[in-house]
Amino acid sequence: MARLRRRLAGSNNVLAQALLGLISSDRLDADTWDDFEATLIGSDLGVGPTTELVDTLRRELSIDGVADPTRAREVLHRELVRITDPTLDRALNLDAADGLPAVILVVGVNGTGKTTTVGKLARLLVAEGRTVLLGAADTFRAAAAEQLQTWGDRVGVETVRGAEGADPASVAFEAVDAGVEKGVDVVLIDTAGRLHNKSNLMDELGKIRRVISKRAPITECLLLLDATTGQNGLIQARVFNEVTDVTGIVLSKLDGSAKGGIVVQVQRELGVPVKFVGLGEGADDLAPFTADGFVDGLLG
């Protein structure tokens, strides 16, 4: 989490700048609040959380009609943590049935960072002393399995892949089957993110889930959302959340986004906790997410 703090602090993050601007302003008049509200909306925080935040701050920081900016940091910190919801369970569910691996399905639109995240997650799990196997169920892009294999080799874990154009569900099954046979702790499955239409997607992910579940229960389904795509990404994420049972969100490319507010909005809209954030392309650039770390990062 120290990493998340470092990355957000001092960045050109619109949300961070709005917050720091409010803290340092010596008058909290109507114009200040209007500007603050507009900037929060522009940071992808979402209308609901923005209204809540502004209403509470206005109420608490204006005493007898006189603005009191000195308490702004303290109230802001508390309220931001509250809207980011520190009570959500963000731990990766690795509770596998007896003798079976935990199975984590990674879904999302192409380019959001699925393959990269599978590699980074494998790295994190291996560092915790767990045994991991990767399944390359994105069989539509020839390069996808290759890319996953490269991650597997780098992290030192086996990758199960099928021929190009193979049925993704059968590759996913083979990976889980190999994971069971080898007695690994976790199988991570990378999927294709083809978003032709909702029913296609539902059929494809539904089939993968059904087939895998014959061998071992899916313990976690992580949805990738690219932080730099803002509202468009959110619309796509909503579709995935509707067609499959998503248990956690990974918000990738937070390092490249100037609008950190999307973290709060996506959780609200999808009703699913953000569990990890991507902070770069490297193997160590995945951080477990916490509300406190996020807010500390924003407020510096």
For ligand GDP, which is the closer residue by CB, 50 or 147?
Answer: 147
Tokens encoding 104: 């984590």
Beta partners for residue 190, in sequence order = 106, 136
Out of 280, 291, 294, 296, point to the residue binding ligand GDP (CB under 6 A).
Answer: 280
Q: Which stretch binds ligand GDP (CB under 6 A): 87-95, 125-133, 161-169, 252-260?
A: 252-260
Do residues 149 and 203 lie in contact, with contact meaning Cβ atoms separated by under 8 Å? no
**Alpha helices, DSSP H, located in the chain:** 2-8, 14-24, 30-42, 47-61, 72-84, 114-127, 142-155, 168-182, 198-213, 230-243, 262-270, 291-299
Closest separation between CB of residue 227 and ligand GDP, Å? 8
Check whether 124 is labelled as a binding-site residue: no
Is residue 116 a contact residue for ligand GDP (CB under 6 A)?
yes
Which parts of 259-278 interact with ligand GDP (CB under 6 A)?
A: 278
How far apart (Å, rounded) are the C-alpha atoms in residues 180 and 168? 18
Is residue 131 a contact residue for ligand GDP (CB under 6 A)?
no
Out of 44, 204, 285, 296, point to the residue binding ligand GDP (CB under 6 A).
Answer: 285
**137 three-state secondary structure:** strand
How far apart (Å, rounded) are the C-alpha atoms in residues 238 and 109? 11
Helices (H) and strands (E) in the chain, counts: 12, 10
Closest separation between CB of residue 293 and ligand GDP, Å? 16
Binding-site size for ligand GDP (CB under 6 A) equals 19
Tokens encoding 215: 């061998």
Is residue 282 a contact residue for ligand GDP (CB under 6 A)?
no
Is residue 229 a contact residue for ligand GDP (CB under 6 A)?
no
Q: How many Cβ atoms sit within 10 Å of the Cβ of residue 254?
A: 29
Out of 17, 56, 93, 110, point to the residue binding ligand GDP (CB under 6 A).
Answer: 110
For ligand GDP, which is the closer residue by CB, 113 or 135?
Answer: 113
Is residue 114 a contact residue for ligand GDP (CB under 6 A)?
yes
Q: Which stretch binds ligand GDP (CB under 6 A): 36-44, 62-70, 232-240, 251-259?
A: 251-259
How far apart (Å, rounded) are the C-alpha atoms in residues 145 and 137? 8
> Binding pattern to ligand GDP, positions 44-83, x when CB under 6 A?
----------------------------------------
Check whether 5 is labelled as a binding-site residue: no
Check whether 283 is labelled as a binding-site residue: no
b/e per residue 183-205 (b: at least 16 CB within 10 A): ebbbbbbbbbbeeeeeeebeebb
Check whether 244 is labelled as a binding-site residue: no
**283 three-state secondary structure:** coil
Tokens encoding 238: 């909503």
Is residue 297 a contact residue for ligand GDP (CB under 6 A)?
no
Using CB atoms within 10 Å of the CB of residue 250, give its burial: 0 to 12 exposed, 13 to 18 middle, 19+ buried.
buried
Binding site for ligand GDP (CB under 6 A): 108, 110-116, 193, 224, 252-253, 255-256, 278-281, 285
